[in-house]
Amino acid sequence: MITALSSVERPLRSAAPPSPRNGPGLKCADFFCGIGGFHLAARNLGLEVVFACDIDEPARKAYHANFGLRPAGDIVSLRPDDVPDHDLLFAGFPCQPFSIIGRQRGFADPRGTLFFQVLRFIQAKRPLGIVLENVKQLKTVDKGKVLRRILEDISDFGYSVDYKVLNALDYGLPQKRERTIIVATRQPFDSFPWPSHTTPRKPLADILESEPDAKHYVSTAIRHKRHKAHTAKFSPAIWHENKGGNVSSHEWSCALRAGASHNYLLVDGERRLTPRELLRLQGFPDSWEIVCNDAQTRKQAGNAVPVPMVQTVIKRMVRIIERTQIARRQAAP
C-alpha cells in the first residue's frame, strides 16, 4: 500500500508553468547521475548538461574526470536555488526498492521516497521535458500502484506523461537490460513517439577484449564447477548463473548488476568481464577514462543507464520541444 506523505515530503501542486526558455541549445540537469549515462547521451545530441548530483563519491569522481563537471552530493540537502535553470531533467532514481533482486518494497523503502525529491525540482524548475529511468519491475510493484502514483504526481504538475519498458538489446548493445523509461513534457501529446524499430546488435566479440588481464580469470574450482554444470553451444558467450544456481549461456550478457556476485557473469565460463567490457556493454566509448578501481567501476557500470537507449528517447523528446518552440515563434505577431 502506498502511504501518504506530508507536505514536507511531497511537493505542493504547482501554479501555471512559466514561458519556455529560449537560447541556442537546451540545457539539462542530471539527478542521481551515477557516472553519466544520461550526460553522455545528451552530449552526443549536442545538449549541454549544467548540473549533476549523486551521493556516491567514486561515481562523482568518474563523472568529473570525464565531463569536467563536478556533481553535487546528496539530493536531500539541495535547495532549488542550488540548481541552475534547465530545459530537460534526467533522473535514474534508486532502483533497489523496486527491483526483482530486492524485496520490491517500493515507497515503503526509504530509498523509494527519493522520487519525491525529484518532484521537488520538477515543481521548482518546471523543465520542458523529463526522462526518468528505473527497473522493469517498477510497473508491477504493489500491483502497479507505485507507477501510477509516479505518473499521476508528474501529471498533476501539468505534464503529459507516458512510459514504456525498453530493452538495451534493441539499441545495439549485447546486453539484455530491460528498463522502465518514464517521459513527460509540458507540451501535450496523446502518446509519446517511442522508437518503433530496433538497432542491429553489436556482436559480443566486438565488446570483449582480446588480451584481458589474468586477474579476471576465475579459480580452477569455479571453472570446473561451471563446465560440469553447463555446456555452451557457441563461443564467445556470457555464462549466467542465477540465484538458484542454474547456469545458461547467451550470445549477449544478462543485465549487469551493481551488487551481484563477482562470478555472476563469466565469459565462456572462464573469466569475469573486465571494467572496459562492462562499460562497453552500457554504451560507454573506449575514450571513457577509468579512474576508479575494478570493484567501483563494476558497481558503476551495473548502476549505469544504457547510453544508446536513452539517447534515442531524448532525441525524440527534443523534437517535440523544438516543434513546439518553432510553432510558437511562427504564431507570434
Average pLDDT, the chain: 87
Contacts of 73 (CB under 8 A, 6+ apart): 53, 54, 55, 60
Q: C-alpha cell of 297?
A: 567501476
Please check the confidence at residue 7 and state whether its pLDDT lies above 60.
no
Q: Which of 77, 94, 75, 76 is nearest to 29 (CA)?
A: 75
Tens-digit pLDDT profile for residues 163-214: 999 999 999 999 999 999 999 999 888 889 999 888 999 999 999 999 999 9
In whole angstroms, what is the distance from residue 59 CA to residue 111 CA?
A: 18
Largest CA distance in the chain: 77
pTM of the full predicted structure? 0.88
Cis peptide before 80, with omega less than 30 degrees from 0?
no
Please check the confidence at residue 22 and state whether its pLDDT lies above 60.
no
**Residue range(s) of every CATH 3.40.50.150 domain in the chain:** 27-194+304-331
State phi, psi for 127 to the nearest 5 degrees: -60, 155
Task: Look at residue 287 in the predicted model and tell me its pLDDT.
Answer: 98
In whole angstroms, what is the distance from residue 33 CA to residue 304 CA?
A: 9
Count of CB atoms situated within 10 Å of the CB of 83:
21
Question: Which segments within the chain are labelled E, that is strand?
Answer: 27-31, 48-52, 88-91, 129-135, 160-167, 175-176, 178-185, 238-241, 247-250, 253-254, 265-267
Contacts of 142 (CB under 8 A, 6+ apart): 1, 2, 106
Give the SS3 label for residue 107: helix
User: In the chain, what percentage of residues exceed pLDDT 70?
Assistant: 85
Task: Look at residue 38 in the predicted model and tell me its pLDDT.
Answer: 98
Residues 61-71: b if buried by 16+ CB within 10 A, e if exposed: bbbeebbebeb
In whole angstroms, what is the distance from residue 58 CA to residue 34 CA?
A: 9
Task: Look at residue 20 in the predicted model and tell me its pLDDT.
Answer: 42
Contacts of 79 (CB under 8 A, 6+ apart): none
Q: Which of 28, 53, 95, 254 is catalytic?
A: 95
Q: Which of 240, 262, 253, 315 is nearest to 282 (CA)?
A: 253
Please check the confidence at residue 9 and state whether its pLDDT lies above 70.
no
In whole angstroms, what is the distance from residue 248 CA to residue 98 CA?
A: 25
Mean pLDDT check: name the lowest of 4-8, 168-172, 200-204, 259-263. 4-8
State phi, psi for 254 to the nearest 5 degrees: -70, 170
In whole angstroms, what is the distance from residue 114 CA to residue 97 CA?
A: 10
Catalytic site includes residue 95: yes
Count of CB atoms situated within 10 Å of the CB of 131:
24
Q: Average of pLDDT values for 309-330?
A: 86
Tens-digit pLDDT profile for residues 64-112: 999 999 999 999 999 999 999 999 999 998 855 444 444 544 344 444 4
Task: Look at residue 68 in the predicted model and tell me its pLDDT.
Answer: 98
CATH number for region 27-194+304-331: 3.40.50.150
In whole angstroms, what is the distance from residue 252 CA to residue 239 CA?
A: 9
DSSP annotation of 77 reads G
Please check the confidence at residue 275 and state whether its pLDDT lies above 60.
yes
Tens-digit pLDDT profile for residues 151-175: 999 999 999 999 999 999 999 999 9
User: In the chain, what percentage of residues exceed pLDDT 90?
Assistant: 73
In whole angstroms, what is the distance from residue 65 CA to residue 320 CA?
A: 32
Residues 250/238, Cβ–Cβ less than 8 Å: yes
